């Protein structure tokens, strides 16, 4: 479902029905982002509500050339990050290591290896969800969102070195999980 200019206009005029309609659209669009950073439904829903409130109050600043979906997602991510900064219980004290090893992505000409099945992506997402919280957030911000270590450091209030360490740690843990999964599948196959 898309958001029309008419719906936005009605929301700016504080039409409660329009705001409810916009909330329902935003719920399906923004809740996955909230769940990515908050594992329990209550906290994710609270983050969504805070983000939606900011979206509704700032609708009049939405430019015509800016797509609503991208704008709302950016606001949601910023609200989550701001909440994370305020909530110091999520901070981890970690000794920094100056490493920035990239995962080796081996390309192959085999079309079978080039396509990743939905099942494999679900497994990978499951592994990512099991990462320690800070490492998972750094991994997501760096790999998925495309932030630099400097930006991640500013967002999460950690040093560049700590950001690099968490990325390296996330990759190491993911490699171990994948290797362990492969061994388990081989032992099941050959009993």
- Domains of the chain are 5-89 (1.10.1740.10), 92-190 (1.10.10.10)
Count Cα atoms within 13 angstroms, Cβ side, for 183.
6
Please give the share of the chain, as a percent, with pLDDT higher than 90: 25
Q: Which residue has the tokens 């982002």?
A: 33
Q: What is the pLDDT of residue 120?
A: 66
- Please give the residue that has the higher pLDDT: either 113 or 61: 61
User: Dihedral (C-alpha) 158, 159, 160, 165: value to the nearest 10 degrees?
Assistant: -70
- Please give the residue that has the higher pLDDT: either 188 or 172: 172
- Please give the residue that has the higher pLDDT: either 147 or 116: 147
Q: What is the pLDDT of residue 48?
A: 92
Tokens representing 47?
A: 């983050």
Confidence of residue 38 (pLDDT cuts 50, 70, 90): confident
Question: Distances in Å between the alpha carbon of 156 and those of 13, 70, 189?
Answer: 36, 22, 43
User: Dihedral (C-alpha) 149, 132, 29, 69: value to the nearest 10 degrees?
Assistant: 0
- Mean pLDDT for the chain? 78
Q: What is the pLDDT of residue 119?
A: 53
Q: Determine if the pTM surpasses 0.85.
A: no
d(CA 7, CA 12): 9
User: Dihedral (C-alpha) 102, 106, 107, 112: value to the nearest 10 degrees?
Assistant: -120
Q: Tell which residue, 36, 66, 61, 62, has the closest CA to residue 48.
A: 36
Tens of pLDDT, residues 110-134: 334 444 455 566 777 788 888 998 9
């Amino acid at each position: 479902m898309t958001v029309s200019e008419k719906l936005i206009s009605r929301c700016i005029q504080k039409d409660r029905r329009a705001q409810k309609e916009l909330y329902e659209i935003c719920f399906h669009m923004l809740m996955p982002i909230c769940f990515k950073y908050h594992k329990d439904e209550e906290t994710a829903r609270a983050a969504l509500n805070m983000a939606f409130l900011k979206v509704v109050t700032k609708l009049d600043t939405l430019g015509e050339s800016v797509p609503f979906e991208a704008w709302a997602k950016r606001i949601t991510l910023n609200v989550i990050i701001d909440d994370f900064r305020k909530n110091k219980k999520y901070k981890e004290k970690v000794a920094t290591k100056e490493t920035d090893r990239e995962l080796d992505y081996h390309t192959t000409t085999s079309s079978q290896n080039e396509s990743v099945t939905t099942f494999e992506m679900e497994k990978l997402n499951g592994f990512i969800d099991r990462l320690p919280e800070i490492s998972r957030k750094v991994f997501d911000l760096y790999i998925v969102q495309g932030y630099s270590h400097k930006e991640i450091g500013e967002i999460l209030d950690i040093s560049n070195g700590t950001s690099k360490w968490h990325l390296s740690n996330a990759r190491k843990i993911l490699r171990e999980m994948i290797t362990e999964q492969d061994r388990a599948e081989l032992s099941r196959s050959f009993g």
